[in-house]
Amino acid sequence: MGRKILNEALSKIVNAEKRGFATTNLRPVSNVMASFLKIMKDRGYFSFLLFS
């Protein structure tokens, strides 16, 4: 189940980037997804991350 959530999140990010969008909304944001995205930000895959 966790892989599907991360796969969907990464697909949304890649599709938004291909279309030229600066932002994308990811839902639902689980603790696992939030941790994974924070690690990706720390490693430089993207520059801005906001959880609301």
Q: Does residue 48 sit within a domain?
A: no
Q: Which residue has the tokens 């997804």?
A: 33
The per-residue pLDDT for 52 is 64
The per-residue pLDDT for 50 is 78
The per-residue pLDDT for 22 is 85
Q: Does residue 19 sit within a domain?
A: yes
Q: Does residue 47 sit within a domain?
A: no
The per-residue pLDDT for 9 is 86
Question: Is the predicted pLDDT of residue 1 greater than 60, yes or no?
Answer: no
CA 14 to chain centroid, in Å, comes to 9
The per-residue pLDDT for 5 is 82
Q: Does residue 11 sit within a domain?
A: yes
- Full domain range(s) for residue 12: 2-42
Q: Does residue 50 sit within a domain?
A: no
Residue-wise pLDDT for 3-46, tens only, equals 888 888 889 889 998 999 888 888 877 888 888 888 988 999 88
Q: Does residue 49 sit within a domain?
A: no
The number of distinct structural domains making up the chain is 1
